[in-house]
Amino acid sequence: MKKKIIAAATILQALSFGTAFADTAQTSPKVTINPIPGGSVDRIVEIIQIVGGWLLMAAGALAVVFLIIGGLQYMTSAGNAEKAAAGKKTIIYALIGVAVVLLSLFLVNVVLGFFKG
């Protein structure tokens, strides 16, 4: 069970690296660097934001599922200390996964902020 939880936390972390939301109402000047012929940095940033939004929603849904699973494990332990501990660990790992997703969201927003200007 511990391996499954660690794998789920790793998946959440991997999914979170592409997540980003940015304030679309910003009026700051846009970067005019064109690293690829016919393309622009703004378009790349927009694609990252769109894909990142979907990945963030998926990671959030997965975290909620694991929180529910952990809660059910804890509630149905019926006095069994091992099952109760497994439920607590699942809940803790799910919360750690949420924290990692939020931290990566912040970091990606900072990096994309440099490219957007």
pLDDT tens string 34-63: 455 556 777 887 888 888 888 888 988 898
How far does the chain reach from its first CA to its final CA, in angstroms?
A: 45
Rounded to two decimals, the pTM is 0.58
Q: Which pair of tokens denotes residue 36?
A: 């690829």
Name which of 3-12, 53-62, 82-91 the model is least confident about: 3-12
Residue % of the chain over a pLDDT of 90: 26
d(CA 112, CA 45): 7
Do 108 and 18 meet the contact criterion of CB atoms below 8 Å apart?
yes
d(CA 110, CA 20): 9
Do 48 and 72 meet the contact criterion of CB atoms below 8 Å apart?
no
